[in-house]
Amino acid sequence: MTTTTRVDYSALIQPTRVHGSLYTDPAIFADELERIWYGGWVFVGHASEVREPNDYVRKNIGPQDIIMTRDRAGEIHLLVNRCAHRGNLVCDAPSGNSSAFRCAYHGWTYRNTGELLGYPYNKGYGGKGNLDLKLGVVPRVESYHGFVFGSFNPEVVPLKEHLGAAAGELDRLARLSPEGTVSLDAGWLRHQTHANWKLLAENETDGYHPQFVHGSIFSVTGSTIGPLYSDNSTAVTRALGNGHSENDLRPEFRKFAEPMRWFGTTPDRVPEYVAAMRAKHGDAAEEILIEGAPHVMVFPNLFVAEIQVFNIQPISYNECVQFSTAVQLDGAPELNKRMLSQSIGSVGPAGMLLADDTEMYERNQRGVEQRLPEWLDIRRGVGRESTDPDGFRIGGATDETAMRAFWQHYKNLMEQ
């Protein structure tokens, strides 16, 4: 007989501090899998990765191995990569185009919607069509601007409800495309990281670290990013509800009122793009081109960092994978080329931003595994927070408003 002791999450998660064991306890990680990764919505991939009928690509929901397929009618499915016979993987290739998957072990075949098509030497089963078996199918699949989310929980709320105000940030990304749509088909880089996934999720909208962790790269490139995350910045950190958060940089960009400054360039460097946006949006184009792209963390694993998208996959309490890709705006080839090369420069294998962050994640994991002090402090800015007209908590550019909101949501989920 096994006994399970329930973790007291309200003791471990307090308004301005969180306990170190949240990053180091395998039992807490097991709880997170059930409640967050299998119980809620998780970002899986993008519809543009399976553009054609019968395209498929291997993905993940937490440690689960998922095949994202598009059937011949155009519908997207998330299949669990496990044969219904004796549990072998049915798909080995990272991506491809096929209407069916054939298990390598005993040759059972499945349609890309999950149905069992056939099994060799069927007399052993009394003939054809006798087996009431199929691949595991993720019961809920919904998408927003092509961002595909899945949930193992059939009762989960509609995706739009989970996204809440974060949906508006994905709208903001899509409207930067002259066609109003984005693609994430440039390929994903995969960074294995020896750190708890929450250290990454918390860092995505931590405006306190950039000047220190990325100071060297800002200084050698003459980047304008640094001042956005200083105590003089007019940018704000906003808790968007449901654990989502953003660094809203628009106040800074509006101050300068320079189109394309958000992208570190000027309209004359990307004339075709700017012309296409002006043709589509008329006078409204200026504001769009000044305000730029969102910097938003969608709980628990989707991070849109202006021109890159990240997908965080937890593997264990102290290991995760960061997948990253360049945003591609449909109808903007001129910008897309630059987005790709900037992404390689910042988050590629020899990139200058993600390497710095990853060093911090791994040191952070080593640090929180030490015994004392037991707590992590997240009180920064608590005394200067306010509520914006939409009812969201906002703090200064370098404040820990987003972390406090992340933990509040996390606590709610873990206590259910």
Query: Which residues make up the interface to Fe ion (CB under 5 A)?
Result: 357
d(Cα 325, Cα 348) in Å, to the nearest integer? Answer: 9
Least distance in angstroms from the C-beta of 19 to Fe ion: 24
Binds 357, which of ligand FES, Fe ion, none (CB < 5 to 8 A, cut-off by type)? Answer: Fe ion
Binds 42, which of ligand FES, Fe ion, none (CB < 5 to 8 A, cut-off by type)? Answer: none
User: CB under 6 A: which stretch of 84-92, 201-209, 254-262, 347-355 binds ligand FES?
Assistant: 84-92
Q: Judged by CB under 6 A, does residue 103 bind ligand FES?
A: yes
d(Cα 385, Cα 224) in Å, to the nearest integer? Answer: 26
Binds 86, which of ligand FES, Fe ion, none (CB < 5 to 8 A, cut-off by type)? Answer: ligand FES
d(Cα 369, Cα 355) in Å, to the nearest integer? Answer: 22
Q: Please choose, from the candidates 65, 5, 11, 13, the residue with its C-alpha nearest in 3D space to the C-alpha of residue 405.
A: 13
Binds 23, which of Fe ion, ligand FES, none (CB < 5 to 8 A, cut-off by type)? Answer: none
Of 247 and 313, nearer to Fe ion (C-beta) is 247
SS3 content of the chain, % helix, strand, coil (to 5): 35, 25, 40
Binds 128, which of ligand FES, Fe ion, none (CB < 5 to 8 A, cut-off by type)? Answer: none
Least distance in angstroms from the C-beta of 203 to Fe ion: 6
Of 105 and 256, nearer to ligand FES (C-beta) is 105
Of 66 and 239, nearer to ligand FES (C-beta) is 66
Q: Which amino acid makes up residue 284?
A: A
Angle of CA points 30, 34, 37, to nearest 5°? 100
Inter-helix orientation angle 333-347/271-281, to 10°? 120
Pattern 105-144, ligand FES, x by CB under 6 A? xxxx------------------------------------
Binds 256, which of ligand FES, Fe ion, none (CB < 5 to 8 A, cut-off by type)? Answer: none
The one-character DSSP state at 194 is S
Least distance in angstroms from the C-beta of 124 to ligand FES: 12
CA dihedral for 131, 133, 135, 137, sign (positive or negative)? positive
Q: Please choose, from the candidates 349, 71, 42, the residue with its C-alpha nearest in 3D space to the C-alpha of residue 190.
A: 349
- Tokens matching residue 253: 């960009």
Least distance in angstroms from the C-beta of 108 to ligand FES: 4
By Cβ distance, which residue is nearest to Fe ion?
357
- The radius of gyration of the chain's CA atoms, rounded to the nearest angstrom, is 23
Q: Judged by CB under 6 A, does residue 83 bind ligand FES?
A: yes
Count of residues interacting with ligand FES (CB under 6 A): 9
